[in-house]
């Protein structure tokens, strides 16, 4: 499988410029805040969002090198730090002690401080954006933060009521994940002055990729060998009905569905039930069916790129689609 390093190669310089920009801009006052911020910055993940910003910017730039400018670094920082803050808050909500193989912020400093760190990151992010004077980018990116909150709340409500349907599931993953990937890809195009049509195409590309990304994330939660750095089976423990289980529920009659939902409730306190339900979902083809739907979104994303001439950036975006579909972390 193609590696992320190979996918990053055509925009290596742009990514370095973004990293340096982030280091320069994102500082904190006070020892504790600084220590917490360092932890958050050093446990960032694969950097898919900044990568999307840079590849999209390079592919849409009218002149070579235009994607190395400050607007691109700023856009990459804005999306990545929204993502970072949202995961800090997500781990508080899920009471999760681990993120990317490291202790979560709430595990190290307790939830009350983790909430403040997430807020601080969002506040600093917004301030840096506004001080830059690049209001089109700030409004394009930060204007969509509310969507993530809508997705998270809907997910929480559906888990509590056990009433997730395919429609609400797709709505949740669009809001909590796909929207920000759409924003990332379109922000790259916007940062280099692409036309409105191209910005829209890139948004659609990122959103389709984002739907696939979250479905794969939900599949990995069922895969014991996953090298995700997150405990497997968390979704079931949290009572979340994601696509693999939904595929099963959709095939069952009322009584069987009720029994499965009762079993899901027991997963909150019983790891044996988690294993049994995972096994059932795998045996009955839930993962296979979820994969098929995910591949549909990948194909949709790749189709959006047909408007562009061949280039190393376009190739990397296509490889990124394959990577998302095949990733195990």
Note whether 235 binds Mg ion by CB under 5 A.
no
Q: Which stretch, 27-35, 88-96, 169-177, 225-233, contacts Mg ion (CB under 5 A)?
A: 88-96
CB of 235 to ligand FPP, least distance (A): 7
Q: Which does 289 bind (CB under 5 to 8 A by kind): ligand FPP, Mg ion, none?
A: none
Any alpha helices (H) in 94-195, and if so which ranges? 105-109, 111-132, 135-142, 145-161, 166-173, 179-191
- What is the crossing angle of helices 286-304 and 196-220, to 10°? 160
- Closer to ligand FPP by Cβ: residue 100 or 319: 100
Q: Which stretch, 87-95, 112-120, 207-215, 262-270, contacts Mg ion (CB under 5 A)?
A: 87-95
For residue 155, the Cα-to-chain-centroid distance in whole angstroms is: 15
CB of 96 to Mg ion, least distance (A): 6
Note whether 145 binds ligand FPP by CB under 6 A.
yes
* Residues numbered 48-107 forming contacts with ligand FPP, rule: CB under 6 A: 82, 85-86, 89-90, 93-94
Q: Which of 2, 21, 44, 90 binds Mg ion (CB under 5 A)?
A: 90
- Closer to ligand FPP by Cβ: residue 147 or 300: 147
CB of 193 to ligand FPP, least distance (A): 27
Backbone torsion region of residue 162, taken as left when φ is above 0, otherwise alpha when ψ lies between -120 and 50, otherwise beta: left
Q: Which residue has the tokens 């009572």?
A: 239
Note whether 216 binds ligand FPP by CB under 6 A.
no
3-class SS of residue 98:
strand
Distance CA 86, CA 270 (A): 28
CB of 172 to Mg ion, least distance (A): 12
Q: Which residues have a Cβ under 8 Å from the Cβ of 18 and sit 6 or more positions away?
A: 50, 53, 54, 72, 73, 76, 77
3-class SS of residue 103:
strand
Buried b (16+ CB within 10 A) or exposed e, 71-92: bbbbbbbbbbbbbbbbbbbbbb
- Closer to ligand FPP by Cβ: residue 219 or 249: 219
Note whether 94 binds Mg ion by CB under 5 A.
yes
Distance CA 128, CA 1 (A): 38
Q: Which does 11 bind (CB under 5 to 8 A by kind): Mg ion, ligand FPP, none?
A: none
- Closer to Mg ion by Cβ: residue 90 or 98: 90
Q: Which of 230, 237, 314, 327 binds ligand FPP (CB under 6 A)?
A: 230
Where does this chain bind ligand FPP (CB under 6 A)?
A: 82, 85-86, 89-90, 93-94, 118, 122, 145, 148-149, 152, 176-177, 217, 230, 234
């Amino acid at each position: 499988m193609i590696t992320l390093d190979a996918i990053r190669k055509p925009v290596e310089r742009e990514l370095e410029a973004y990293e340096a920009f982030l280091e320069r801009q994102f500082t904190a006052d006070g020892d504790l805040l600084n220590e917490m911020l360092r932890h958050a910055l050093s446990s960032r993940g694969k950097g898919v969002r900044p990568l999307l910003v840079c590849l999209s910017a390079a592919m849409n730039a009218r002149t070579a090198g235009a994607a190395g400018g400050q607007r691109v670094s700023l856009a990459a920082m804005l999306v990545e730090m929204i993502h970072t803050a949202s995961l800090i808050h997500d781990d508080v909500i899920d009471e999760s002690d681990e993120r990317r193989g490291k202790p979560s912020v709430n595990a190290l400093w307790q939830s009350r401080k983790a909430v403040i760190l997430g807020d601080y990151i969002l506040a600093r992010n917004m301030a840096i954006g506004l001080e830059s004077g690049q209001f089109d980018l700030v409004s394009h990116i930060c204007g969509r933060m509310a969507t993530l909150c809508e997705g998270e709340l809907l997910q929480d409500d559906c888990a509590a009521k056990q009433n997730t349907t395919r429609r609400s599931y797709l709505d949740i993953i669009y809001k909590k994940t796909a929207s920000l990937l759409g924003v990332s890809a379109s922000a790259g195009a916007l940062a280099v002055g692409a036309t409105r049509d191209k910005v829209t195409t890139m948004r659609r590309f990122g959103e389709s990729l984002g739907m696939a990304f979250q479905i794969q994330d939900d599949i990995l939660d069922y895969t014991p060998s996953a090298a995700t750095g997150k405990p497997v089976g968390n979704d079931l423990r949290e009572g979340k009905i994601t696509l693999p289980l939904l595929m099963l529920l959709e095939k069952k009659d009322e009584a069987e569905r009720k029994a499965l939902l009762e079993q899901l409730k027991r997963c909150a306190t019983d790891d044996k039930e988690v294993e049994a339900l995972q096994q059932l979902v795998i045996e009955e083809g839930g993962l296979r069916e979820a994969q098929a739907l995910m591949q549909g979104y990948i194909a949709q994303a790749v189709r959006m790129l047909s408007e562009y001439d061949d280039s190393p950036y376009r190739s990397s975006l296509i490889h990124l689609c394959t990577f998302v579909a095949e990733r195990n972390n």
